[in-house]
Amino acid sequence: MKYTILAATLAASVAASPSHNHHQHHHAKKNAPNKVEKRVDVVTEVVVGPTATVYQLDGKIVNPADAKAGLADGDYVVIGETTPTYVPPPPPPPPAPSSTSTSTSSSSSAGGMKAQFIEEPSSSAAPTTTSAPPPPPSTTAQPTSSSAPPPPKSSKPAQPSPPSGGTGLNADFPSGKIPCSHFPSDYGAIPLEWLGTGGWSGLQFVPGYTAASLSISEIITGVSGQTCGDGAMCSYACPPGYQKTQWSQAQGATLQSIGGLYCNNGFLELTRPDHPKLCEPGAGGVSIQNDLDESVCTCRTDYPGIESMVIPACANAGQTIPVCNPDESTYYVWDGKSTSAQYYINKKGYGVADSCVWNSPLDPKGAGNWSPLILGVGKTAGGLTFLSIFQNLPTSTALLDFNVEITGDVNSKCSYINGVWTGGSNGCTTAMPAGGKAIVRYF
């Protein structure tokens, strides 16, 4: 399928000067076996007035209905978005959950962001609270998660269990000594067998790349059935709480992210030789606590890399697992800006092969890339960790079939309970000080 690139720009009312600048998001084309296309410039205008999303294609405005239809059908991919946020006065206490509460549809670009938060330089002062801007009015009310029908259950054979372990986390990787045909699971990497790419989380073939390259103008995304081979950047997953260390100094000529080990003449080479271990822990302090009676898979995007949501953090019923919290001081820098991690929250009971994929065979419009909610996590240079949960709009209108709240050492309430948000219409953000602990609770 041919994909067309869109840019989404959000104009929003601003109630107060932000003490933490806005998050931006971008996304690379999915499965594009050709030369990379020119990225669309995105300009954010902050004005007083209602929120509206404007889609641009090659510098021209696209009708919102046509843009949303194309996004829903997979013909368009949003690769440039800007979303101003602000620090409003402290909100009133959230309303008590009610079975009659509703949420409205919106074209807000607070959701539908497919890659990472990109942090602008910011103050270390913690805001009282931050939230996604309110959506434009809608006359069509959607049912809340409390009234949504139960998700379909797979009739297929049992799916593979989420990978666990990660032997050799503390072992230095011998650059140039391991064949590209050997997945480096004995150096901490976790194979993702359900993707059909030899265990690798993503493949990007980069003809013409050398270690001296400053930018890469041709990027061919590998697909299922291919594996790591000469001229490829071979990305990999790490255990929950850890993240990959490898990405080249050269990135896409039009701002695509590229990550992983490089396959050179049949052998795997480090792309950051000063980081010889393949996996490293994040800043810590963040966990997922699953208080449901079924498992839940929360899937991180392969970033820098193909930016597909394939890296699993699956918590069984009653289990608590760590969430990797990138420190912007040491993590990947995109276009001169620090970045953080983004996780897709899937419905309960979905296996890893139906959750940590782009297209879910079980629930094509409600899992994987179309998961109901997204979780963002990242620690700033000032020591604050920002945590956000938000609706995956406009990509998905799927409803989550359980509740989510962020608790612990955080400075404001942030939750999604019975279809009702605290702190915003389509999402909320809170902050944790250095040394604190935060729990993303599913219940």
Phi-psi region of 361 (alpha: psi -120 to 50; beta: other; left: phi over 0): alpha
Q: What residues are paired with 24 via a beta bridge? A: 82, 118
DSSP assignment letter at 221? E
* Of 57-61, 176-180, 243-247, the least confident: 57-61
pLDDT band at residue 29 under the 50/70/90 scheme:
very low
Give the model's pLDDT for residue 303: 97
- Each residue's pLDDT tens digit, 65-119: 776 676 666 566 554 443 333 333 344 344 344 333 333 333 333 333 344 545 4
pLDDT band at residue 300 under the 50/70/90 scheme:
very high
My answer on whether omega of the bond before 160 falls inside 30° of 0, hence cis, is no
Whether this model's pTM surpasses 0.85? no
Give the model's pLDDT for residue 282: 96
In the predicted model, what is the mean pLDDT of residues 341-367? 97
Q: Which of 388, 349, 383, 385 is nearest to 366 (CA)?
A: 349
Q: Which residue has the tokens 């490898």?
A: 246
Give the model's pLDDT for residue 10: 35
Give the model's pLDDT for residue 74: 59
Contact by Cβ (8 Å): 108, 35: no
Residue 194 Cα distances to 155, 200, 309, angstroms:
17, 10, 13
Tell me the C-alpha distance between 399 and 131, whole Å: 19
- pLDDT value at 431 more than 90: yes
Structure tokens at 315: 């918590």
Tell me the C-alpha distance between 316 and 410, whole Å: 25
- Each residue's pLDDT tens digit, 361-382: 999 999 999 999 999 999 999 9
Q: What amino acid occupies position 286?
A: V
pLDDT band at residue 423 under the 50/70/90 scheme:
confident
CATH architecture of 286-442: Sandwich (2.60)
- pLDDT value at 20 more than 60: no
* Of 154-168, 206-220, 296-310, the least confident: 154-168
Tell me the C-alpha distance between 390 and 51, whole Å: 16
Give the model's pLDDT for residue 164: 53
In the predicted model, what is the mean pLDDT of residues 214-236? 96
pLDDT band at residue 220 under the 50/70/90 scheme:
very high
DSSP assignment letter at 229? -
Give the mean pLDDT of the chain: 76
Structure tokens at 24: 């931006």
- pLDDT value at 285 more than 90: yes
Structure tokens at 102: 């509703």
- pLDDT value at 302 more than 70: yes
Give the model's pLDDT for residue 424: 78
- pLDDT value at 152 more than 50: no
My answer on whether omega of the bond before 50 falls inside 30° of 0, hence cis, is no
Q: Which residue has the tokens 């993240």?
A: 243
- Each residue's pLDDT tens digit, 312-346: 999 999 999 999 999 999 999 999 999 999 999 99
Structure tokens at 335: 């276009």
**Sequence-ordered list of residues with C-beta below 8 angstroms from that of 154, at least 6 positions apart, any chain:** 350, 351, 354, 362
Contact by Cβ (8 Å): 259, 332: yes
Give the model's pLDDT for residue 78: 53
Give the model's pLDDT for residue 274: 97
Question: In which order are the strands placed within the sheet that holds 373-379?
Answer: 130-131, 427-432, 385-391, 373-379, 341-345, 296-301, 309-315
Could you state, in order of their start, the residue ranges of all structural domains in the chain? 1-14+50-83, 163-280, 286-442
